[in-house]
Amino acid sequence: MEKRGLLIVISGFSGVGKGTVAKRLVKDYGYSLSVSATTRAPREGEVDGVDYYFKSEADFKNLIDYNGFIEYARYVDNYYGTPRMFVENELAAGRNVILEIEVQGALNIKRQYPDAVLIFIAAPTVTALKDRLIGRGTEKEAVVAKRMKRASEEAKEMENYEYIVINDELDVCVQNVHAIVISKRCELHQNLNFISETQEGFAQL
Amino acid sequence: MEKRGLLIVISGFSGVGKGTVAKRLVKDYGYSLSVSATTRAPREGEVDGVDYYFKSEADFKNLIDYNGFIEYARYVDNYYGTPRMFVENELAAGRNVILEIEVQGALNIKRQYPDAVLIFIAAPTVTALKDRLIGRGTEKEAVVAKRMKRASEEAKEMENYEYIVINDELDVCVQNVHAIVISKRCELHQNLNFISETQEGFAQL
């Protein structure tokens, strides 16, 4: 019997590299990456269906009405949402699905999917995070300050997550997230059917 | 700061290969294997300090009096116990320690070490377990029947464990146990100090 996939919700500091972690989980371990829908305009280089599904506000609201999102939120003037059908289909097919999302969405998803795993990707130190943001070179000082401010807010939410994974070395971080997923598969409550079958197997000897 | 090691308690069906799993965790991942003490006589080929610490009953009882065991039990006419000092020293040095022990000992240890991880190693099917026992070739039919009887009793205790790991392919089984240990390290409550440090780091910016 193919087991249902696991829903992995990844949040983390702006600039911590969680997008890269998610891509590596897709590449190395065959996870499915959920692509969000949004009403905001595509930025330069963004591809529809890869970075986001770009929707008109009318289409987005229509999807809301038809229960098409497992969660959605409005930020400033734009909607962002996680399309339900992709997530459901992938989980049913036994594939692990990654969502990259912020804390309110993560908690919202946990209420609907109690088996979802909430993982926060952290930088090893605050200094390391700042260095990483500055190191990109493309960001002006004001932008770095703004992102550090946001990370500082995000840090207040860390206790809402079930797992904290430090992204010091990317390979280790990716392996650790995968290890969490493997361990969830081995948890007692995921194996109650197997235990029943085993106990019945002995009874029939 | 070196983190304290994790205590991993492994139980599993007689004949399932849990001893081999434990040895591989030592070899592949540097875990420390706890060696039990016993008052029973060494069997042919058994080495003191490797298979067991062989003790006189007087010495064993003396160790009990001096709180030298984290758990001990008497089976038939012999005592078996887990020496405290080795486990404590290894954990303090940040090394993961494996104990191979049966269910009552496992539950006993969990009461004293709430962070201990209780893992049950199962065979993929009851038939596979029986084939494995027969496959050893050295066992007479009556011995196989006796061990299957014992495994059948052990199966009733599986719900007492936190994780069930199936030993179908040894490599996968070993990796899965290690994944559980990694995931424990990433659990929220293991990272509360890190979270405080991070939050303070932001506050000091």
pTM of the model: 0.91
Residue A12 burial by Cβ neighbours in a 10 Å radius (0-12, 13-18, 19+): buried
Question: From the list A155, A162, A195, which residue is nearest B198 (CB)?
Answer: A155
ipTM, interface predicted TM-score of the complex: 0.90
Q: Is B10 an 8 Å CB contact of chain A?
A: no
SS3 (DSSP) at A182: helix
Nearest alpha-carbon partner for B20 in B148, B135, B170, B131: B170
* Contact assignment for A126 to B202 by CB distance below 8 Å: yes
Tell me if B148 and A205 make a contact (CB, 8 A cut-off). yes
Task: State the pLDDT at residue A1.
Answer: 46
B126/chain A closest Cα distance in angstroms: 6
Task: For residue B195, list chain A residues with Cβ-Cβ distance below 8 A.
Answer: 155, 158-159, 164
What is chain B's pLDDT, residue by residue, as a tens digit (205 residues)? 458 999 999 999 888 899 999 999 999 999 999 999 999 999 999 999 999 999 999 999 999 999 999 999 998 889 999 999 999 999 999 999 999 998 889 999 999 999 999 999 999 999 999 888 887 666 678 888 888 888 899 999 999 999 999 999 999 999 999 999 999 999 999 999 999 999 999 988 7
Inter-chain contacts counted by CB atoms under 8 A, chains A and B = 119
Q: Which residues contact B103 (CB under 8 A, 6 or more apart)?
A: B11, B154, B157, B160
A202–B178 CB contact, under 8 Å: no
The CA distance from B41 to B38, in Å, is 8
**What number is the average pLDDT over the span A45-59?**
95
pLDDT for residue A136: 66
Query: Could A186 and B202 be called an inter-chain contact, meaning their C-beta atoms sit closer than 8 Å?
Result: no
What's the rounded Cα separation, in Å, for the pair B118 and B163?
6
Q: A195 CB near a chain B CB, below 8 Å?
A: yes
Compare CB distances from B179 to A159, A183, A202 and report the shortest one's residue. Answer: A183
* Orientation angle between helical segments A141-155 and B192-203, nearest 10 degrees: 140
In chain B, residues 85-114 whose CB comes closer than 8 Å to chain A: none
Q: What DSSP designation does A94 have? A: T
Cα Rg, chain B, nearest whole Å: 19
Candidate from A130, A152, A182 with C-beta closest to B179: A182
A-chain residues near B182 (CB < 8 A) = 175-176, 179-180, 183
- pLDDT per position as a tens digit, B71-85: 999 988 899 999 999
User: Cβ of A155 under 8 Å from any chain B Cβ?
Assistant: yes
